[in-house]
Amino acid sequence: MSFYEQLTAATQKERDQLLTVPIIADCLQGRVKLTDYHAFLSQAYHHVRHTTPLLMSLGGRLPERLAWLRPAVAEYIEEEIGHEEWILNDIRAAGGDADAVRDSRPELPAELMVAYAYDLVNRGNPAGFFGMVYVLEGTSVALALMAADRIQQGLKLPDAAFSYLRSHGTLDQEHTKYLAELLEQMAPEDRQDVVRYARVFYHLYGDIFRALSQPEAVSCN
């Protein structure tokens, strides 16, 4: 069994918990509201805009034993630059106020997930960052394309409102294969941290979705 397969098995419980979040279940059954989609895109913007800065920080924090990961991090940076602008374009196409989202502050769950990611890179084991990559890309592959179809059917929105979900769903299919190759080369102690952080990020990422239906309880604006 490859380490990627071991990681998938080790995080099955956390993944199942994420998939039972009500708004995700509703979305996949076409019951999502326009306000829900706007809220999702808003919080996605607030964590996606940190992807490139986080990767840049990661590249500078990798210890010598993980120096072999630097070309991979550089490739991730090149591919991730500007994706937050896709989200703002989707918000506009879906009738939302992209400028207001850009100027807003994230809700608490998104703020905490981003803060934890920075702390991981700066204070923890940088290899564990790939646990976050595993969660976000794996969830994207599992849900993004299907969710985009269901949301579009339910809300009758144009294709231009789904560039983030559809582009990421397709792109992340390629990324997961690459990620599996990187994880296979990691030392046992680094693999242990990848599993640990993946479990944490499933919880933190799930909290973002859990909060979408009750933003008044978690706002930090």
Domain ranges for the chain, please list them. 3-214
198 pLDDT band, cuts 50/70/90, is very high
Backbone torsion region of residue 63, taken as left when φ is above 0, otherwise alpha when ψ lies between -120 and 50, otherwise beta: beta
Asked if residues 92 and 203 have their Cβ atoms less than 8 Å apart, the reply is no
Residues in CB range of 195: below 8 A, 6 or more apart: 7, 10, 11, 131
Report the pLDDT value the prediction gives residue 208, as an integer from 0 to 100.
96
Report the pLDDT value the prediction gives residue 214, as an integer from 0 to 100.
66
89 pLDDT band, cuts 50/70/90, is very high
Report the pLDDT value the prediction gives residue 218, as an integer from 0 to 100.
42
Under CATH, which number does the domain 3-214 receive? 1.20.910.10
pTM: 0.92
Q: Kindly tell me if the per-residue pLDDT of 63 is higher than 90.
A: yes
Query: What is the rounded average pLDDT for all residues in the chain?
Result: 91
DSSP 94: T
Does 205 or 145 have the greater pLDDT score? Answer: 205
19 pLDDT band, cuts 50/70/90, is confident
Report the pLDDT value the prediction gives residue 217, as an integer from 0 to 100.
42
Report the pLDDT value the prediction gives residue 220, as an integer from 0 to 100.
38
Mean pLDDT of 199-208: 97
